[in-house]
Amino acid sequence: MENNVPEEQVPVKTTKKHVKPGVIYLSRVPPLMTVKKIRDIFCDFDEIGRIFLQPDERAAHGKKGRSFTEGWVEFGDKRKAKMVAMKLNNTTIGGKKKSRWYDELWNIKYLHRFQWAHLNERLAYEKAVHKQRLRTEISQVKREANFHIRNSEKRRKKTSEKEKKTSEKEQIMSEKEKSGEEDNVTIPKEKEEKNYEFKQKETEDEILKKKKAKFSISKIKKDKKRLQEKKKNNKKTLTSRSSFLKNIFSGGGEVESMDDDL
């Protein structure tokens, strides 16, 4: 039997390899360059998939456009992405001379084994960090505000108490003037402030002075004792001498009387 199927309709096996996409990184995006302009430039080399440009939050947004700090461009074939990074890095953008980016330089790098999912993870992480920072800043601002509110309430209470005391005094003084009984009326006295005294440790100079004073006092006492002992000794010697002389003179008188009798 003959086959009625034509040759064109017979399926042919293809031996094409699976092409992997590649991502290049733009470390600097020229000012006021848009996503459309980047796509138009890189479309000449290969099919372009996704593009992401990080907006510059510090720069002010004007009527002309928005500025970006960095960007990522996805190519359909990673070989073409490597070729673009090698060819265009540190080269001028070129184009028409009237364009504002004619003299600007490309800063491109091929990201080896980088996938678009990694970029999504990074962006999600940066958003989470940004939210956490905002939360901490908000909580700190709330704490400061509560602290100031508490202090203001304390001041208001103190001022209200003082005003009440002054009003009470004024009422009492007015009652005094009306009644004329100044002696019987007693004005409530405010609480006396207590003065607390704290003993401090003595310095080295004060300790030395005290020691010198004690030494001088003990010296004076010793000198007094020595003088008293000397006086006592002198008295004893005088009494012993006087008694000795008395004995001598008394003995001599008796001898003389005996000679007279003979």
Each residue of 40-86: pLDDT tens digit? 888 888 888 889 988 887 776 666 678 888 899 999 888 999 999 99
Q: Which residue is it, tokens 């080269």?
A: 91
The most confident of the ranges 101-115, 178-192, 231-245 is 101-115
By the 8 A CB rule, do 25 and 108 touch?
yes
Order of all β-strands in the sheet with 48-55: 48-55, 68-75, 22-26, 108-111
Percent of the chain at pLDDT exceeding 90:
6
Strands 22-26 and 68-75 come out as antiparallel
Distance (Å, rounded) from C-alpha 77 to C-alpha 67? 28
More confident residue, 55 or 13: 55
Tokens of 109: 């790098």
User: Rounded to 5 degrees, what are φ and ψ at 145?
Assistant: -65, -45
pLDDT at 245: 63
Residue 102, classed as helix, strand or coil, is coil
Question: Which parts of 44-180 fold into alpha helices (H)?
Answer: 78-88, 116-179
Q: Which of 169, 195, 173 is nearest to 182 (CA)?
A: 173
By the 8 A CB rule, do 66 and 50 touch?
no
The pTM of the full predicted model, rounded to 2 decimals, is: 0.45
Distance (Å, rounded) from C-alpha 172 to C-alpha 122? 75
Each residue of 147-197: pLDDT tens digit? 888 888 888 888 888 888 888 888 888 777 777 654 554 555 555 566 767
> Is residue 234 predicted with pLDDT exceeding 50?
yes
Q: Which of 200, 222, 201, 219 is nearest to 211 (CA)?
A: 219
